[in-house]
Structure 1
Amino acid sequence: MSETTVSPSTDAPRRGDAGRGPGSDGGSLRRTGRTVLSQEYLGVLIATVVLVLAIGAFYPRFLQFDQLMAILNQATYVGILACGMAFLLAMRELDLSVGSVYALTALACAMLVQSGLNPWLSALLAIVVGGLLGLFNALLIQYFKLPSIVATLATLAMFRGLTLALSDGTQVLGPPVDDSFSQVIGGDVAGVPVTGIVLVVVALVLTVVLRATPFGYRVRSIGSNPDAAAFSGIPVNRVRMQAFVLTGALGGLAGVLTIGYLGAADPNTGTGYELLAIAAAVIGGTSLAGGKATIVGAALGAVLLGVVGSGLAYFSVPINWNQFATGAVILAAVALDSVVRRRRTAARNSAPQL
């Protein structure tokens, strides 16, 4: 009697197909869509695109690539400051001195270059100076038990006064335009300014830090419930210090980029940037109540503010109205943040308890 070999049916499910129904691909797409729609920065991204298209409808020149890249370059400095501010806001902290840190580190970089130091090394040292200024803020808060808003309001004036004193109130030249530092930082890649690329890289790296590292987890935990975080063993003081150092170093990075792009340090630069950084972070989806932040949203918030400023110029609105427009955007963002938080709280309270 011969042995019969039975071959497996081609209609039989293959290994790995178990549980895959006919609508699995559609379900995957739906899940992806829900993930995209749940991003906190989606609103500011849509608002930015709509605003750009609206201005472009009246002034087509606004939609040209070089104009959009100029806006990105202008938004870079506030955007980098806003990325650091998002970390602090997530911890229920605030740094009002970031604009002054930005100016002082730019001046430090220019002065080091003037002393004969290599511009790249000068830039690195200026970033270190920014971190030290952030550390100074953290030490004031920790050892004198000062609220961060009070301590950094004082250092805002101190750092700005030091910048004016060291520069005698005048601009200090940085590296010459033919130096490799100026050519790299002031250059572009396929038409995209290097400064804008730096902003994108900073936003992506810090997003990973916030979402996928113990430091980021601790920052969000402290902001959600400081007492519970301390009770669970999280070193609140050390994490706060690290967050302020990070914010200061980012201020130094922004200052260094200014020197590379403009070629000089102005002691008055960065005035008011602290409010713009806070506004950009909040517009981008960072909660003022702490516990939540979006770094990409903070960067996009800075771009939105840049679009608003450029749009006002196209419509021949006097520059004195820029501050009014910025304040209105801040007010709208804070009001929206408050409404969203109240609705989420109400939804949680009304949800059935299992």
Structure 2
Amino acid sequence: MNILKNRDVLLAFAIVLLIGGVAARFPAFVRPGNLVNVFNDTSPLILLAIGQMIVILTKCIDLSVAANLALCGMAAALLNGMGVPLPLILIAVVLMGGALGAVNGLLVWKLGIPAIVVTLGTMTIYRGTIFLMTGGAWVNAHQMSAAFKALPRTVLLGLPVMSWIALAVIALFFVILTRTPLGRSFYAVGGNPHAAVYTGIDVGRTQCIAFVISGALAGLTGYLWVARYAVAYVDVAAGFELQVVAACVIGGIAIAGGAGSVIGAVLGALFLGVINNALPVIGISPFWQMAISGSAIVIAVALNATQNRPKGRIILKEVEPA
């Protein structure tokens, strides 16, 4: 059946099986309240995975998303300490994240530096900037206002605001990627950049826009992360970029660019979210999470390569015996 060949359907089925397997050992895991918590815990990963997916679609990669998150989160905490109103803080972190993403995009576009090199460098720069801003000091819960901490935790219609923000971003970028010229240009640039040029698409500019979107989502996630956990410091979300890339790859986004979907990125994030929440429940050390994420990347890339490998032309045929 064609439906069984659909990557998203198979991944959704795998998530259901995974939840069922955990529930067999720990039935409380499938209670509605706990499943809501799992989705809410996964919301930051979903937001970053959507931004990363758009960058990967254009044949690039953004390894600085977690450092961008940490820097914008620290900026949000410091602004809150200065008495800046929350709406202005939200606008500031989104603009700041987008600007940090634009730095990556411009270096890739104007200087032609490979994205992996650029974002490895800016990842370190952004972390270092946090240290320069604070001298290594933490911003703790007692230094944050109640309103600042309350927003992502406020429950509306059974879901925390952070989950509603994730759902809104999913819907927004699903429409952008499937119904707008900008969304089609992301796929065109990643699928065949040379053909994209002939259709009037500026490849470098499109890649830069992708980095800006990824950075803006990282900035928004920075506030949500810091406000929810009520702490900001240099190493917030350290290593989280691996989880983000893993979510994209598991969700079927082709590292070579040009293929992938918002639904796939979300399902990849949920797959990892269920694993990360289930490991402590079934008695497996959380230190295995990084190993599992790394293994998932390797396996998913191998599967993608096998499925997408073009068939070679037969130029020599075996001579049939007379």
**Mapped pair 1:134 → 2:122:** no
CA distance in 2: counterparts of 1:40 and 1:319, whole angstroms: 28
Aligned residue pairs, count: 312
CA distance in 2: counterparts of 1:119 and 1:349, whole angstroms: 61
**Mapped pair 1:105 → 2:72:** yes
Aligned-partner residue type, residue 223 of structure 2: V
Aligned-partner residue type, residue 280 of structure 1: A
Alpha-carbon shift at residue 249 of structure 1 (Å): 0.1
**Mapped pair 1:166 → 2:133:** yes
**Deviation sequence 1:141-177 (CA, Å, 0-9, x none):** 1222200000100001110111123233232246422
Alpha-carbon shift at residue 41 of structure 1 (Å): 2.1
CA distance in 1: counterparts of 2:66 and 2:120, whole angstroms: 11
CA distance in 2: counterparts of 1:74 and 1:269, whole angstroms: 15
- The structure 1 residue matched to 2:160, chosen from 179, 193, 198, is 193
CA distance in 2: counterparts of 1:113 and 1:306, whole angstroms: 30
Contact 2:242-2:293 within 8 A present in 1 as well = no
Aligned-partner residue type, residue 297 of structure 2: I
CA distance in 2: counterparts of 1:112 and 1:38, whole angstroms: 49
The residue aligned with 1:87 is: 54
Q: Which moves more between the two structures, 189-198 or 42-51?
A: 189-198
Aligned-partner residue type, residue 78 of structure 1: L
CA distance in 2: counterparts of 1:184 and 1:273, whole angstroms: 23
- The structure 2 residue matched to 1:176, chosen from 145, 170, 177, is 145
- Map 1:284-299 onto structure 2 (within 5 A): 284-299=251-266
CA distance in 2: counterparts of 1:162 and 1:302, whole angstroms: 28
**Mapped pair 1:325 → 2:297:** no
CA distance in 2: counterparts of 1:150 and 1:313, whole angstroms: 35
Contact 1:199-1:299 within 8 A present in 2 as well = no
Q: Which moves more between the two structures, 298-307 or 260-269?
A: 260-269
The residue aligned with 1:280 is: 247
How big is the alpha-carbon RMSD for the aligned residues of Structure 1 and Structure 2?
A: 2.0
CA distance in 2: counterparts of 1:164 and 1:57, whole angstroms: 46
Contact 1:176-1:263 within 8 A present in 2 as well = no
- Map 1:1-354 onto structure 2 (within 5 A): 40-173=7-140, 175-177=144-146, 179=147, 181-342=148-309, 345-346=310-311
Contact 2:49-2:244 within 8 A present in 1 as well = yes
Aligned-partner residue type, residue 97 of structure 1: S
Alpha-carbon shift at residue 118 of structure 1 (Å): 0.5
Alpha-carbon shift at residue 95 of structure 1 (Å): 0.5
Alpha-carbon shift at residue 262 of structure 1 (Å): 2.4
Contact 2:62-2:116 within 8 A present in 1 as well = yes
Aligned-partner residue type, residue 107 of structure 1: M
Q: Which moves more between the two structures, 104-113 or 285-294?
A: 285-294
Structure 2 CA distance for partners of 1:349 and 1:109, relative to 1, 3 Å: farther
- Between the two proteins, what is the percent identity of the paired residues? 32
Unaligned runs of 5+ in 2: 315-322
CA distance in 1: counterparts of 2:281 and 2:227, whole angstroms: 27
CA distance in 2: counterparts of 1:75 and 1:134, whole angstroms: 22
Larger Rg computed on CA atoms = 1
CA distance in 2: counterparts of 1:172 and 1:222, whole angstroms: 41
Unaligned runs of 5+ in 1: 1-32
**Deviation sequence 1:11-41 (CA, Å, 0-9, x none):** xxxxxxxxxxxxxxxxxxxxxx96x667542
CA distance in 2: counterparts of 1:191 and 1:167, whole angstroms: 37
Contact 1:127-1:256 within 8 A present in 2 as well = no
Contact 1:119-1:175 within 8 A present in 2 as well = no
**Deviation sequence 1:106-153 (CA, Å, 0-9, x none):** 111111111111022112101100000000111111222200000100
**Deviation sequence 1:226-279 (CA, Å, 0-9, x none):** 111112221112111111100000001111212332233232111112111111
Aligned-partner residue type, residue 263 of structure 2: V
CA distance in 2: counterparts of 1:310 and 1:74, whole angstroms: 8
Structure 2 CA distance for partners of 1:175 and 1:121, relative to 1, 3 Å: farther
